[in-house]
Amino acid sequence: MKKLSNTSFKIIYFFLLYSSALAQEPFLEIRPYIAPSYEQYPTSQHVDHHHPYSNVADNLFLRFDGIQFTDDVIFPECISGSSCYDGHAGIDYYMPFDTPILAPGSGYVLWASFSAPADPCPGGITPNGDQGTIIIAHGNDYFTVYLHMNPPLNVSVGDNVETGDTLGFTGNTGCAINAHLHFEVRKENWFFDTSEPYAVDPFGWWNESSDPIEEIRGNRSEWLWVSDSLIDDGDNGFQRFKGPDWTYLSSGFNNDCWAAPPTNDPEESRHYAIWVPHLDSAGEYNIEMFFPANVDAVTGAIYEINVKNEDGISNTTNVTVNQNSNPGNFTIITTLDLPAGSKCSVILRDVVHDSSNGANVVFDAIRFTNISTTNISEDTPAHIITDNINIDSVYPNPFNASTTIRYSSLRLGDIYISIIDIAGNHINTIYIANQIPGTHLYKWMGTDYLGHHIPSGIYFLSVESSGTRKTRKILLLK
Ligand SMILES: [Zn+2]
């Protein structure tokens, strides 16, 4: 990749001085393409969070959610369906040739050309001619980069573009084999340098440790798309990894959803998706998933809900859900306190609970409903709410192989039984949809959400329904 001439650089430098004074929240209004009516273009590669330096292989790939891959999925093998490649600083969207590429936010065209690609190409592939490249400055120290475009480009250096303007069309020029859009978000620097990554990951960083890109560059990965509190599978806030065998189904919310075969082995996982809402205000939210009717869905889907704190560190809650419950409707999978903005993600993988049945993990719409305000509406004044749930006994306690929870509920409703360790980590959540009022027994085998046995120690067991939660301390001794 060539750098710009000195003359162009001076012009751009003054632009940067001016634009950096305009402090703005980072956001992109749309994705850089129009989602087809029945699907979105899935992601085929992510930013390498561990080492996003071009052309430098360290045999370790860290995805946007902190999942680590080593040599067996390093480029070019990952073209066939894994999730990486080493030293990747962008998001690759898999899409057909000549798909219109749109400006995801307003900005100024800094670079639009066909020029020599990286040499050598990552993964040792042969360059496919000069690479079509566009770079846009968004006036807030953020730059977006578009690679592998087909001729002709629709914009020239110096153009101002508005959200949704067509920049050009997808291709496989430069270091590319298949037609795809390499989309990159950079902060504070727009030019390419193979040893200096400026990548910001528009998927954000959802692991329980600090953002590796922030450690390298001082710019934290964030979710940059403006989204909504209701996210369907074709919307801005939903991203689906390409994977080898997805099925599109004309069922579910808006009559569409995606399904993938389940696995019990995390090493075999090849499908996942992420939903990220933008929430107007902080508060207590019901997180609701839509489950389509007439699909042989799994009974043990595992939803990972990540909530970022001010330091950019995520706390993860795992909820095991029967996707056959309440078909054709939204179902509450959990209730959490959430901050305003895009600080929460829900990730669903094809890895299911050991005891799960059913042929499809289903990926459909998700909805976030703020219940902080609805709780104090006139028809349900706070003083007449009585406790809906009670833990009658947990026996034995301390326990070894298993313990049985006896609890009572006053009203028909969804029940959540959660196991939390003393550090506050959610070990397991058992979800029971539409349980009738009465006394119930649940036998817990001392396992986490994957069905693995957990170590000895003190845990908190909580039973929750209709906004009421009761908690007991329990002791596992081995
Ligand atoms: Zn790429």
Please state the rounded mean pLDDT for residues 166-174: 97
Identify whether 287 is part of a domain.
yes
CA of 182 to the centre of ligand 1 (A): 4
CA of 88 to the centre of ligand 1 (A): 6
- The per-residue b/e assignment along 235-255, b for 16 or more CB within 10 angstroms, e otherwise, is bbbbbbbbbeebeebebbbee
Side chain identity, residue 197: P
**pLDDT number for residue 377:** 37
Identify whether 208 is part of a domain.
yes
* 166 plus 267 within the same structural domain: no
Q: Are 346 and 275 in contact (CB under 8 A)?
A: yes
- Number of domains into which the chain is organized: 3
pLDDT of 17 > 50? The answer is no
DSSP class of residue 153? Answer: P
- Who surrounds ion ligand 1 at CB < 5 A? 90, 92, 182
* 31 plus 173 within the same structural domain: yes
CA of 57 to the centre of ligand 1 (A): 15
CATH of the domain at 300: 2.60.120.260
CA of 195 to the centre of ligand 1 (A): 16
CA of 413 to the centre of ligand 1 (A): 47
* 334 plus 393 within the same structural domain: no
Task: Give 433 or 276, the one with higher predicted confidence.
Answer: 276
CA of 85 to the centre of ligand 1 (A): 9
419 lies in which domain range?
386-476
CA of 349 to the centre of ligand 1 (A): 23
CA of 280 to the centre of ligand 1 (A): 33
Of the given ranges (65-79, 287-301, 395-409), which has the lowest mean pLDDT? 65-79
CA of 5 to the centre of ligand 1 (A): 25
Q: Helix or strand or coil: residue 78?
A: helix
Identify whether 370 is part of a domain.
yes
* Among the listed residues 395, 452, 16, the one whose alpha carbon sits nearest the alpha carbon of residue 265: 452
Highest mean pLDDT of the ranges 31-35, 73-77, 189-193: 31-35
Q: Which residues pair with residue 109 across a beta bridge?
A: 136
Q: Is 217 exposed, middle or buried (0-12, 13-18, 19+ CB in 10 A)?
A: buried
* 423 plus 349 within the same structural domain: no
Domain end: 177, 196, 217, which one? 217
**pLDDT number for residue 3:** 38
CA of 104 to the centre of ligand 1 (A): 18
Considering the chain, what percentage of its residues have pLDDT values greater than 90?
41
CA of 90 to the centre of ligand 1 (A): 5
Please state the rounded mean pLDDT for residues 198-208: 88
Identify whether 1 is part of a domain.
no
pLDDT, the chain, mean: 84
CA of 451 to the centre of ligand 1 (A): 36
* 365 plus 461 within the same structural domain: no
Q: Round to whole Å and give the CA distance between 325 and 293.
A: 10
* 458 plus 346 within the same structural domain: no
CA of 15 to the centre of ligand 1 (A): 27
* 247 plus 365 within the same structural domain: yes
Identify whether 223 is part of a domain.
no
CA of 462 to the centre of ligand 1 (A): 45
CATH of the domain at 466: 2.60.40.4070
Side chain identity, residue 361: V
Task: Give 155 or 1, the one with higher predicted confidence.
Answer: 155
Side chain identity, residue 83: S
Considering the chain, what percentage of its residues have pLDDT values greater than 70?
87
* 367 plus 410 within the same structural domain: no
Identify whether 121 is part of a domain.
yes
pLDDT of 293 > 80? The answer is yes
- The per-residue b/e assignment along 9-23, b for 16 or more CB within 10 angstroms, e otherwise, is eeebeeebeebeeee
Express the helix, strand and coil content of the chain in percent, nearest 5 each: 10, 40, 50
Domain end: 195, 217, 239, which one? 217
Q: Are 140 and 23 in contact (CB under 8 A)?
A: yes
List, for residues 432-447, the tens digit of each pLDDT value: 777 778 888 788 888 8
* 30 plus 59 within the same structural domain: yes
* 431 plus 321 within the same structural domain: no
CA of 383 to the centre of ligand 1 (A): 57
Identify whether 51 is part of a domain.
yes
pLDDT of 76 > 70? The answer is no
CA of 258 to the centre of ligand 1 (A): 24
pLDDT of 478 > 60? The answer is yes
* Among the listed residues 46, 51, 85, 80, the one whose alpha carbon sits nearest the alpha carbon of residue 63: 46
CA of 240 to the centre of ligand 1 (A): 16
**pLDDT number for residue 373:** 58
List, for residues 445-471, the tens digit of each pLDDT value: 888 877 788 989 889 898 888 778 888
**How are beta strands 43-45 and 91-94 bridged, if at all?**
antiparallel
* 257 plus 199 within the same structural domain: no
**Tokens matching residue 54:** 């071009």
CA of 20 to the centre of ligand 1 (A): 27
CATH of the domain at 129: 2.70.70.10
Residue with tokens 């669903």: 348
* 199 plus 237 within the same structural domain: no
Q: Are 86 and 60 in contact (CB under 8 A)?
A: yes
Q: Round to whole Å and give the CA distance between 135 and 325.
A: 47
Please state the rounded mean pLDDT for residues 311-338: 92
Identify whether 134 is part of a domain.
yes
Which element (helix H / strand E) includes 433? strand 426-435
**pLDDT number for residue 128:** 93
Please state the rounded mean pLDDT for residues 47-73: 77
Q: Using 50, 70 and 90 to split pLDDT, how confident is the model at 78?
A: low
CA of 275 to the centre of ligand 1 (A): 22
